[in-house]
Amino acid sequence: MFDLGLKNKVVLITGGSDGLGRATAKRFALEGAKVVICARRADHLLQAEDDIIKEVSEYLGQHSKIEVVGYPADVTDAEDCLKLVSNATSKFGGIDFLINNAGASAAESLEKLDEAEWLADFHLKVMSAVRLSKLVIPFMRKRGGGCIINASIGGGKAPAAGSLPTSVMRSAGLNLTKSLANEFASEQIRVNAVCIGLIKSMQWVRRAGNKDPRELYDEMAKRVPLGRVGEAEEYADLVAFLCSERATFITGTAINLDGGMCPVV
């Protein structure tokens, strides 16, 4: 039996109401973890909370104890980050895992970006991870260790033209990953990154508009060496594994989850 050892662990997932974050929340709930998700839209977040509990209950059985709670929060706001961690720790007594998943794709050329767009992306993708990591590490220390996962992209390692400001912010996130991994390894706090490629998510559904998103995915798949677009559940599985007892010797690395797209390892 491949037991991940996640039962009763507490995980905080940002951007947890849709796509990759939602899939990750469901995966941890299926493993028996206590799950906290956050997002900016309160009504959508609470609906996601209810839906995840219902889906997991249908799989595990109606009498299973499933703990998923959503707290509205804008992770670009320092006060919201503080309230989020306070709510999570008050509810569950601590935090074992932090998944810095929040972040929207932004890809443009230098001359088309203004300073406000740079700063907004910086706060969303870098400072949110900095703030939340700083807030949760004391709780992880008290529990004898923990794990932080930072969502990134292959462009953080090998940026393409017209990939600003995201590629710069994701590169900073990879530096943060390695820096924190080095700093807190002696306390058994592990920090890793997952560099996603083309994976099915709500941002692609929105871009498809009135068209069938499967048509968009089929077109995107032509760019992937493995010939298909990834599933949100594949991201969730990797994140769960990296947090698990089966991955306690893995820290300070950035794993490509992209079907072979990234030109560097």
Report, as an integer, the average pLDDT of 29-34: 98
Classify residue 243 as left (phi > 0), alpha (psi -120 to 50) or beta.
Answer: alpha
Structure tokens at 186: 């002696």
Distance CA 167, CA 152 (A): 9
pLDDT value at 2 more than 80: no
For residue 208, how far is the Cα from the chain centroid? 23
Report, as an integer, the average pLDDT of 235-245: 98
pLDDT tens-digit readout, 247-259: 999 999 999 999 9
- What's the number of CA atoms in the CB half-sphere (13 Å) around residue 93? 5
pLDDT tens-digit readout, 67-106: 999 999 999 999 999 999 999 999 999 999 999 999 888 8
- What's the number of CA atoms in the CB half-sphere (13 Å) around residue 51? 13
pLDDT for position 8: 97
pLDDT for position 220: 96
Structure tokens at 47: 């609906």
- CATH number for region 10-199+231-257: 3.40.50.720
Please report the sign of the dihedral spanned by the C-alpha atoms of residue 157, residue 203, residue 88, residue 60.
negative
Report, as an integer, the average pLDDT of 42-67: 94
State the Cα angle at 111 between 105 and 117, rounded to 5°.
Answer: 45
| SS (HEC) of 174-228 | HHHHHHHHHHHHHHCEEEEEEEECCECCHHHHHHHCCCCHHHHHHHHHCCCCCCC
Kindly indicate the confidence band of residue 149, based on its pLDDT and cuts at 50, 70 and 90. very high
pLDDT tens-digit readout, 165-205: 999 999 999 999 999 999 999 999 999 999 999 999 988 88
Asked if 30 contacts 60 with a C-beta cutoff of 8 angstroms, the reply is: yes
Distance CA 234, CA 129 (A): 22
Distance CA 98, CA 143 (A): 14
Beta-bridge partners for 181: none
Average predicted confidence (pLDDT) for the chain: 96
Asked if 24 contacts 236 with a C-beta cutoff of 8 angstroms, the reply is: yes
Report, as an integer, the average pLDDT of 147-162: 97
Report, as an integer, the average pLDDT of 106-126: 96
Distance CA 22, CA 52 (A): 8
CA-based radius of gyration for the chain: 18
Q: What are the structural domain ranges in the chain?
A: 10-199+231-257
pLDDT value at 21 more than 70: yes
Query: What is the DSSP code string of 221-248?
Result: HTTSTTSSPBPHHHHHHHHHHHHSGGGT
pLDDT value at 112 more than 80: yes
pLDDT for position 1: 54
Respond yes or no on whether the N-terminal peptide bond of residue 165 is cis (omega within 30° of 0): yes
